[in-house]
Amino acid sequence: MPNFARCMNKKRCLLIINPISGTGNKRGLDALVASRLADNGLTVETAWTTAHGDATRLARRAAEEGFDSVIAAGGDGTINEAASALCGSRVKLGIIPCGSGNGLARHLDIPVDIRASLEIIGRDCPVACDYGSVNGKSFFCTFGVGFDAAVSDAFARGKHRGLVSYVNNTIRQFVNYNADEYTIRANGQIITEQAFLVAVCNASQYGNNAYIAPRATMTDGLLDITIIHAGNPLSTMLVGVDMLTGYTYRNALVDTIRVSSATIERKHPGPAHIDGEPVALGETLEVRCHPGQLWLYTNPDERPFRPIITPIASMIREARYSINRIFHPSLR
Ligand SMILES: Nc1ncnc2c1ncn2[C@@H]1O[C@H](COP(=O)(O)OP(=O)(O)OP(=O)(O)O)[C@@H](O)[C@H]1O
């Protein structure tokens, strides 16, 4: 990578683009980012990922080469890979939400519109955020076992990405899903439960404004563990409705505990997900929060979560972006 920017005292930024994330066209994204951020004194170099794990390798190299920031253009999986290489460093991470769910971006109130998300990066207000780990693997949004892990696994194996494919997979998994038993040790308590899922949340939502832990924040040094207890199909579906309105904490089938660390045990090894990406993990899952280890460009105008109000406001804003894209289809 050229050293020209360093000689000119300009800040260097590596833009990492995952071409397969989400469903949008990313042609011209590199040129748009470079021209918009040039006004903010940033010199942007671009790298396109070619396979799983590439974003970690590229972000690590950027940190070693003295880049000031990295921008991840993709979904939660791409952000996870890039962020994993930057934790504990001073290199800042910007997000251009181009994924299927964009849970982390939505939690941070980063608009799911490319031009608007660049304004957040241009404002240059990084915040030191927490991240979580499970058995040493980092997560930034959510980690989970149970139903959500089954959905991630089916989604990753499917041919299509995007919201429609995600909803299809969720319905198909729901019809056949059986709850499992989990034991959670945290805050001096032992909870043994038959649960539909156990989600460990650094951020509030899975993506697509599905709030699994509406009150989670990324700056409190804690993880919110949400347990959805086993129930009948109708009451479980109602939890889904509460996730969309942000009222899960009122649902009798849902419990949330806040922890700095915890151990989750299950009867057998099996599927899990880390920021929506499926992984196979063992019976014992050690989770821990790592406070303030990742410098993230977030929205300085971020408002506190309010049930109903926040989801509806997000929906209206996102509908506006979608309508804009119909009239300006060059960059979707
Ligand atoms: N060129 C590539 N070809 C195939 N897979 C890739 C490539 N680049 C990255 N990946 C992998 O694509 C996967 C999905 O990426 P990502 O999570 O960013 O998108 P998404 O699943 O559409 O969005 P979200 O996680 O927000 O729902 C990640 O596991 C990543 O490692």
* pLDDT at 9 (0 to 100): 61
CA dist 226 and 110 (Å) reads 24
- Check if the beta carbon of residue 96 is closer than 8 Å to that of residue 19: no
pLDDT band at residue 112 under the 50/70/90 scheme: very high
Q: Which of 17, 21, 84, 157 to mutate to test the pocket of ligand 1 (most atoms within 8 A of CB)?
A: 21
Note the pLDDT tens digit of each residue in 223-259: 999 999 999 999 999 999 999 999 999 999 999 999 9
* Residues of each domain in the chain carrying CATH 3.40.50.10330: 4-130+292-327
- Cα→Cα distances 282→134, 146, 152, 315, Å: 11, 13, 17, 38
Closest residue CA from atom 1 of ligand 1: 50
CA dist 199 and 233 (Å) reads 19
> Does ligand 1 lie within 6 Å of residue 21's CB atom?
yes
What are residue 173's phi and psi, to 5 degrees? -70, -35
Closest residue CA from atom 31 of ligand 1: 52
- Check if the beta carbon of residue 22 is closer than 8 Å to that of residue 162: yes
Sign of CA dihedral 7, 9, 14, 15: negative
What are residue 191's phi and psi, to 5 degrees? -115, 120
Note the pLDDT tens digit of each residue in 269-308: 999 999 999 999 999 999 999 999 999 999 887 788 999 9
Average pLDDT, the chain: 93
* Residues of each domain in the chain carrying CATH 2.60.200.40: 137-291
Note the pLDDT tens digit of each residue in 63-92: 999 999 999 999 999 999 999 999 999 999
> Does ligand 1 lie within 6 Å of residue 24's CB atom?
no
Strands (E), the chain: 11-17, 42-48, 69-74, 92-97, 126-134, 137-139, 142-146, 180-186, 189-201, 223-229, 254-259, 261-266, 270-274, 277-281, 284-297
Give the right CATH number for 137-291 from 1.10.10.10, 2.40.110.10, 3.30.420.40, 2.60.200.40: 2.60.200.40
Question: What DSSP state is assigned to residue 102?
Answer: B
* pLDDT at 155 (0 to 100): 83
Check residues 204 and 156 and name the one with the higher pLDDT. 204
* pLDDT at 251 (0 to 100): 97
* pLDDT at 73 (0 to 100): 98
Give the right CATH number for 4-130+292-327 from 1.10.730.10, 3.30.750.24, 3.40.50.10330, 3.50.50.60: 3.40.50.10330
* pLDDT at 8 (0 to 100): 56
pLDDT > 50? residue 170:
yes
pLDDT > 90? residue 192:
yes
What is the pairing mode between strands 42-48 and 11-17?
parallel
Instruction: Give the distance (Å) from ligand 1 centre to CA of residue 222.
Output: 27
* pLDDT at 331 (0 to 100): 54
Q: Which of 16, 52, 279 to mutate to test the pocket of ligand 1 (most atoms within 8 A of CB)?
A: 52
Closest residue CA from atom 5 of ligand 1: 51
pLDDT band at residue 7 under the 50/70/90 scheme: very low
Region 36-42: what's the mean pLDDT? 94
Percentage of the chain exceeding pLDDT 90: 82
Note the pLDDT tens digit of each residue in 113-162: 999 999 999 999 999 999 999 999 999 999 999 999 999 988 888 777 77
Encoded tokens for 83: 């962020």
| ipTM score | 0.97
Query: For the chain, what is the radius of gyration of the CA atoms?
Result: 19
CA dist 142 and 218 (Å) reads 11
